[in-house]
Amino acid sequence: MSFTLAIVGRPNVGKSTLFNRLVGKRLALVDDQPGVTRDLREGAGRLGDLRFVVIDSAGLEMADDDSLQGRMRRLTERAVDEADICLFVVDARAGVTAADEYFAEILRRRARHVILAANKAEGHAGEAGALEAYALGLGEPLRISAEHGEGMDDLYRVLAPLADFVDAERPAPIEAATEVELTEEEAETGEAAEDWRPSAKRPLQLAVIGRPNAGKSTLINKIIGEDRLLTGPEAGITRDSISVTSEFMGTPMRIFDTAGMRKRAKVTDKVEKLSVADGLRAVRFAEVVVVLLDVAIPFEQQDLRIADFAESEGRAVVVAANKWDLEDDKPHKLNELRANFERLLPQLKGAPLVTVSARTGKGLDRLHAAVLKAHEVWNRRISTARLNRWLEVMTESHPPPAPGGRRIRLRYMTQVKTRPPAFIVKATHTDKIPDAYQRYLVNGLRTDFDLPGTPIRLFFRDQGKDNPYRAKANKISQSGALSKHKNRQKPKGG
């Protein structure tokens, strides 16, 4: 991408709608109420043949203190300083306000290049406001409608010449984490190209989720070494699911910060519902999910639901207890955490549990090691030969039941996918295999093949249904039986 474009302006002028228009997806949350966007969100923008990084920013507020609005403004000013081009958006229907004039003066001092856009200018209602925008002294205002896509050709006409003067690195595109199907050779040997290992071209996708005020944004800021995300004592500051690409102790990662997830019954505000949905979407993009707990009130019902959701989505899970620096009796608390973890989250048996302090940065080395271990297990492959030797030992030590006197036989096993590991067992009477026996096999896989914490998918298939010669064999046996029957009926000497 050739440049970075930051969209700025006062609240509720349509910045996020324009951002979604330029990236071609509904990534940013959009609502009629002002102040929905609080953090900086980056996306891959495209307009004609132009490719660029587009940044959606919080609405510029006339606040200089340490209030939430003041911190939002400082974050937006930082985007202005770092961007190659600023797209200053005003509301053509509301006309130019005193706040617009104030921020236009700031942009004249701080921005490298400024493009003025009068949004909501469709029809005749925005004509007067678009003409007023000339008074801002930022050149000819572009009349656009982010909602309806009008004026994008004019925006291209202005951006194209500026693209020759600026140049920025192209960020790696966000790709959703997917299962990896194994070929027959990979399944037999358990070996394949290790292209899953994190690299600059394909960073590890890491999502941090948890209840409000658990310290998710503070933790990510400490990991990347800068105040990139908005933080503060107020609960629920983060609304959008924001991704940041950085190196975590030498490992390339794309880290998703998510909105705090409260109990569904307590979520009544429309914007909060959108924020939670955006966070759940980030989990589906992730490879490893860090469930962040507040050590003072760990493993509440909502924490358990969040961890269970990450497991059900097939993501590798790491549980981190934050604010460890505030705990006095650390050995007793750690034993209590581990006991509750094993009791309340048996589906994540063996998953890493680490303690961290997002404020001081202590424990980040343990978190880094746990994330890499969970990612490696999530991508692990086991050869078919090893699996079938293991299956034979498991069935000999604890044979499957024989419901109705019909013995269940487990004949063959192979791994068909990774991310997470998935296995197929060919067996007889698969509809009669009890859940307890399935859990017995899954727990055995975890223990014997070192698969702690990662979700394991185990499927049973009727061996006869996959036998392409079964119908032919039945036909031959039936014809043979018919021939014998005719021979018995044939008169002697005839």
CB 341 within 8 A of CB 314: no
Choose among 138, 134, 368, 136: nearest CA to 252.
Answer: 368
Residue 47 has phi, psi (to 5 degrees) of -145, 105
**What tokens were used for 75?**
């974050």
Binding residues for GTP: 9-16, 56-60, 119-122, 210-217, 257-261, 322-325
Q: In what order do the strands lie in the sheet with 4-8?
A: 41-47, 50-56, 4-8, 85-91, 114-119, 142-143
Secondary structure of residue 459 in the 3-state scheme: strand
How far is it, in rounded angstroms, from Cα 386 to Cα 383?
5
Q: Are strands 114-119 and 85-91 parallel, antiparallel or unpaired?
A: parallel
**What tokens were used for 478?**
């039936």
Secondary structure of residue 356 in the 3-state scheme: coil
Secondary structure of residue 333 in the 3-state scheme: helix
Single-letter code of the amino acid located at 449: F
Choose among 340, 251, 250, 349: nearest CA to 293.
Answer: 340
Per-residue b or e along 45-60, where b marks 16 or more CB atoms closer than 10 Å to that residue's CB: bebeebebbbbbbbbb
DSSP for 48-84, please give it: TTEEEEEEE-PPP-S--SSSHHHHHHHHHHHHHHH-S
How far is it, in rounded angstroms, from Cα 88 to Cα 275?
26
CB 47 within 8 A of CB 22: yes
Kindly state the DSSP code that residue 148 receives in the 8-state scheme: T
End-to-end CA distance of the chain: 91
Binding residues: 9-16, 56-60, 119-122, 210-217, 257-261, 322-325
